[in-house]
Amino acid sequence: MKIAISGKGGVGKTLVAGILARMFARDGFKVLAIDNDSAMNLSYTLGIDEKTKAQIVPIKEMKSMIVKGAGSGVYNINPTVSDIPDKYKVSGPDGLQLLVLGGIEEPATGCLCPENAIIRTLLYNLFIKRDEVVIVDFEAGIEHLGRGTAKGIDLMLVITEPSQKSLDLCHKIIELSKKLGVINIYLIANKITDESQQEIINKKTQNWKVPLYHIIPFDPDIGKADLEGSSPIDYNSNSEGILSIKSLYEKLKLLKQELFDL
């Protein structure tokens, strides 16, 4: 099962990606978590220790993998894309693995960005060829969709918070994801403080043809964990927000059985 997490910056993409990865791993699934957000904060949410964090080198910074080929704008990848995850991933709690792609710097107009080519090809191969649960924390916004990096995913979780700006971006992400051929798209509302917010979101999204799949309440303990540099699931595994994400996880396990374990 290949899961992509997308949305506006600050809505809780990394929170959902990291906690879901931990929960899948705790249940015995082989899990590869991928940080494709330029902020590169997924390691904190996963609870990876400082010594391991210091060993992480984002794929985009590994210039030795990019070899200029014959002709303008032609690049070879050394090592091959299929070798990258196993060579450069690091281990995290509960037996999960983390691969950090890093942010992609946009090239000048008319110039092919080799880092972009590596990441696009790598993600596609991971989505198609890897026999494991792959969870990708995409960078905020919609640029990654314009690069085609979401092709091949099984499930897109689009995270919103109770704001019009967040909902507007989510709608764009959903429409672009559909054009890329993503079939299973679900909207997740995070930081909800009362039922009126949920009702407003339901009303504003009723014509999207994408269900409001899950609600995560505002949880002050998640902010406290972030301030201390701890994974929220380790800080308080029974906090309201973490228990809600656990409920989301159980729903996704059932969905996995319905869609992929036939």
Q: What is the pLDDT of residue 106?
A: 46
What pLDDT band is residue 57 in, cutting at 50, 70 and 90? confident
Q: Which has more pLDDT, 221 or 257?
A: 221
Closest CA to 10 of 47, 41, 56: 41
Cα(173)–Cα(177) distance, integer angstroms: 6
Q: Which has more pLDDT, 131 or 27?
A: 27
- How many Cα neighbours within 13 Å face the side chain of 149? 30
CB 126 within 8 A of CB 34: yes
Q: What is the pLDDT of residue 109?
A: 36
Question: In the 8-state DSSP scheme, what is residue 209?
Answer: S
| Poorest-pLDDT segment among 73-87, 120-134, 149-163, 238-252 | 73-87
Helix (H) and strand (E) counts for the chain? 11, 10
Burial class (CB in 10 A: 0-12, 13-18, 19+), 55: exposed
| Poorest-pLDDT segment among 98-112, 127-141, 156-170 | 98-112
Q: Which residue has the tokens 């090592």?
A: 79
Cα(187)–Cα(183) distance, integer angstroms: 13
Average pLDDT value for residue range 113-117: 62
- The pLDDT tens digits for 9-43 are 899 999 999 999 999 999 999 999 999 877 778 99
pTM of the model: 0.86
The one-letter amino acid at 196? S
